[in-house]
Amino acid sequence: MDFFIQIFVNGIVQGSTIVILATGLSMMYSIVRLINFAYGEFYMIGAYVAWMFINQFVANYWLGVLVSMIAGIVLGWVVETYAFRPVYGRPRMNMFIISLGLVMLMQEGGTFIWTGYPRALKTPYLDPRQIGPIVISDQRIIVVVAALVVLGLLMWILYYTRVGKGMRATTSNRRAANLVGINVPRTTNLAFIIGTVIACLCGSLIGPLLMLFPTMGAGMNIRSLVVIIIGGLGSLQGAVIAGYLLGLAESFFAGYLWMEWTSVVGYIGLILTLYLKPQGLLGRE
Amino acid sequence: MAEKVKEQKRGNFLKGIIIAVVALAAAVFIPQFLNGITGGGYYLHLLIIIAIFSILSMSYNVITGVAGQSNLAHIAFMGTGAYISTILVMYAGVNYWITFFLAGIVAMLLGLLIGIPTLKMRGTYFAIGTLAISQLMSLIWLNGMPGGSDGIPDVPHIPLWGIDFTQKINYAYLMIFFAAVTFFVVLRVVKSRTGRAFVSIREGEDLALTTGINTTQYKLTAFMISAFFGGIAGALYAPYMHYICPQDFSMANFMTVLTMLAVGGFGTIWGPILGTTILTILPEVLLPLKDYIFIVYGAILIPVIIYAPRGIMGAVEDMRARRQARRAKRAEV
């Protein structure tokens, strides 16, 4: 039973990671209908920036997280303005190819700058702690809490602020939003930046729990893409539910069945969803 | 008027014959020439790689360039073909040429598995579905296939009328032959009624649907043709390289194929071959950058899509169309 609870908790931690990424990705998708294959790369860069700052300059962990988020702002602004903005309104395939080009640039650029050698991100919160039957480190608790905080903030921005209202308007109809006086390019830009900041935050929080290497983003990116499809494209709530479900399913699969086949869970889930309920758990499309 | 059309048709026919003769002569003499010069073996190798990747990019062009569906699993079809063929030949002793066709058919079935649910819907689902299937396949090659991440060495040569395939030149002729076959099949498909249906889906799916085109079925057809030739390219790749491993069919190699097609021109006839040639030779020219060639590819891909979304051949076509329009205008005046 202890093993079961431990695995459940691990699943929640894994699910929290996926949820953080999936909400950012889902937001990018809904605002410009962009499937961003480069999203995992933002996460990788976030982790490496935090690593550079914390390990190289021997700085405070939370300062590193902050720097990583600032890097996210810059990254999001540059990528949206110079790579994606020129192709809005063109066939959607253009955007998809650009995002693949970004994957190449960022992954290989990462290898160029940081080499392929795995790095460990330092954090003071790695000591395991015994709570009842489970063993968990503070860093994992931070990840779980961060997922809830990110979700709460995002909901607050989307539903209780003027900017968020603009974003929701842009999501539902770009042209009409433009007509009623919403600055659509700036709103898009902002939504994109929020997405990249979330990715970088996630990278710097998860970083200490894994090894950093330049292709670390690929696997997480596919997981979050799978999750936003299972949850229903464009549905934030669906993505959250599907994210926790996938995290738990992967954790149980790895714990009780075959470790090396863990990522199969997501693919099988995706294929089943596409056959049985293609609009996803909470999708409306 | 009718005579003029007839004349033009005859002109096109003559032009076709001239191109065919020149191409045939080139196909016969270039490998001979490369074989003759010193250090030609390496150039011959590049030629073979160009031929194999041309098959790949031409077939990729059918679904992504002509029909406009974002497929990310093309390299997975190649890998499936290579693994099916190699494993049947090495562990079950099946004749190579049977496995050659099986490779195409299995790749096609794999395409159907993900194509049937996703092609009913629009773009996004198909893209993510194919990405998932390609990752699933590489996981299977890594964990479920003999050799694992080390791959399968000593893949036997192609048996064909006792031809000595340890000579690279014979491979070159064989690959050029199959590339030519692919080229003509793709050309026939694209120029046919079916091909026009593909283009209409790319240009506007709703309109295509309202004019009575069964878009789902046509998209599936395009995907099946594409996957079939992808599988065959894999079956040709394995015996030539003697060795296959999951790394050969990774996402990075898919990006190479994508860049080839983007540079050459999506949806054009000659674009895939041109792009494949350029991007196979480019790393040899940029030797100091060879380790980071994907940075170069990324730096090429993004501006190409922004400024010339239909690649080199697309830009040439546009230029020709503009010139023709100008000439027609002048004739009117």
Q: Are residues B113 and B258 in the same domain?
A: no
- Is residue B282 very low, low, confident or very high in pLDDT (cuts 50, 70, 90)? confident
Mean pLDDT of A115-144: 80
In a domain, A254, yes or no: no
Question: B17, exposed or middle or buried, with CB in 10 Å at 0-12, 13-18, 19+?
Answer: exposed
For B20-79, write each residue's pLDDT tens digit: 777 777 777 777 666 667 666 777 888 888 888 889 888 898 888 888 888 888 888 998
CB under 8 Å to B83, separation ≥6 — which residues? B141, B145, B234, B238, B244
Q: Are residues B223 and B258 in the same domain?
A: no
- Please give the residue range of the domain that contains residue A35: 18-216
Mutate one of A29, A87, A274 to test the B interface: name it (highest B CB count within 10 A). A274
Total residue length of chain B? 333
Percent of residues, chain B, with pLDDT higher than 90: 0
Give the residues across from A136 on adjacent strands: A129
Q: B306 and A222: CB-CB below 8 Å?
A: no
In the structure encoding, which two tokens stand for residue B162, read together? 């006792």
In a domain, A7, yes or no: no
In the structure encoding, which two tokens stand for residue B38, read together? 């010193």
Contact A257, A207 (CB under 8 A): no
How many Å from the N-terminal Cα to the C-terminal Cα in chain B?
A: 20
Which of B197, B224, B249 lies at the terminal end of a domain, its last residue? B249
Residue of B70, B298, B309 with shortest CB distance to A105: B298
Residue of B72, B136, B298 with shortest CB distance to A101: B298
In a domain, B193, yes or no: yes
Q: Are residues B171 and B181 in the same domain?
A: yes
B10 has a pLDDT exceeding 80: no
Q: What is the DSSP letter of A136?
A: E
Helix (H, G, I), strand (E, B) or coil at A120: coil
What distance separates the 2 farthest-apart alpha carbons in chain B?
73
Q: Using CB atoms and an 8 Å cut-off, which of residues 76-105 of chain A contact chain B?
A: 83, 86-87, 90-94, 96-98, 100-105
Residue of A35, A86, A218 with shortest CB distance to B128: A35
The predicted structure's pLDDT at residue A32? 78
In a domain, B6, yes or no: no
Which of B249, B278, B312 lies at the terminal end of a domain, its last residue? B249
In a domain, A68, yes or no: yes
B1 has a pLDDT exceeding 60: no
Q: Are residues B114 and B259 in the same domain?
A: no
In a domain, B58, yes or no: yes
B8 has a pLDDT exceeding 70: no
Question: Chain A residue with minimal CA distance to B307?
Answer: A86
For A245-278, write each residue's pLDDT tens digit: 888 888 888 878 877 787 888 888 888 888 877 7
Mean pLDDT of chain A: 84
For A78-126, write each residue's pLDDT tens digit: 988 888 888 887 877 888 888 888 888 888 888 888 887 888 887 777 7
Q: Are residues B63 and B154 in the same domain?
A: yes
Report the domain count for chain B.
2
A162 has a pLDDT exceeding 60: yes
For A70-81, write each residue's pLDDT tens digit: 999 999 899 888
Q: Are residues B146 and B67 in the same domain?
A: yes
Give the residues across from A134 on adjacent strands: A131
For B99-146, write each residue's pLDDT tens digit: 888 888 999 888 888 888 888 777 678 888 888 888 888 888 888 777
Q: Are residues B268 and B146 in the same domain?
A: no
B333 has a pLDDT exceeding 60: yes
Q: Are residues B112 and B162 in the same domain?
A: yes
CA distance A164 to A170: 10
Residue, of B269 and B167, whose pLDDT is higher: B269
Q: Using CB atoms and an 8 Å cut-off, which of residues 137-156 of chain A contact chain B?
A: none
Mean pLDDT of B148-165: 75
Q: Are residues B189 and B221 in the same domain?
A: yes
B237 has a pLDDT exceeding 60: yes
How many Å from the N-terminal Cα to the C-terminal Cα in chain A?
A: 41
Residue, of A283 and B298, whose pLDDT is higher: B298
Q: B302 and A100: CB-CB below 8 Å?
A: no
In a domain, A160, yes or no: yes
For B66-83, write each residue's pLDDT tens digit: 888 888 888 889 988 888
Tally Cβ neighbours within 10 Å of residue B191: 11
In a domain, B155, yes or no: yes
Mean pLDDT of A9-20: 87
In a domain, B134, yes or no: yes
Specify the pTM. 0.83
Q: Are residues B223 and B281 in the same domain?
A: no
Interface predicted TM-score of the whole assembly (ipTM), two decimals: 0.81
In a domain, B9, yes or no: no
- Please give the residue range of the domain that contains residue B289: 251-333
In a domain, A96, yes or no: yes
Which of B249, B275, B296 lies at the terminal end of a domain, its last residue? B249
Q: A101 and B117: CB-CB below 8 Å?
A: no
In a domain, A181, yes or no: yes
- Is residue B171 very low, low, confident or very high in pLDDT (cuts 50, 70, 90)? confident
The predicted structure's pLDDT at residue A73? 92
For A222-232, write each residue's pLDDT tens digit: 888 888 888 87
Q: What is the DSSP letter of B148?
A: G
In a domain, A8, yes or no: no
| Interface contacts A/B by beta carbons within 8 Å | 120
CA distance B50 to A205: 44
Q: Please identify which residue in the block is written with the tokens 């096109």.
A: B12
The predicted structure's pLDDT at residue A74? 92
Report the domain count for chain A.
1
Q: B70 and A93: CB-CB below 8 Å?
A: yes
Tally Cβ neighbours within 10 Å of residue A272: 12
Mutate one of B74, B121, B142, B302 to test the A interface: name it (highest A CB count within 10 A). B302
Check if B289 contacts A (Cβ < 8 Å).
no
Q: Are residues B231 and B294 in the same domain?
A: no
A285 has a pLDDT exceeding 60: no
In a domain, A222, yes or no: no
Q: What is the DSSP letter of A80?
A: I
Q: Are residues B152 and B255 in the same domain?
A: no
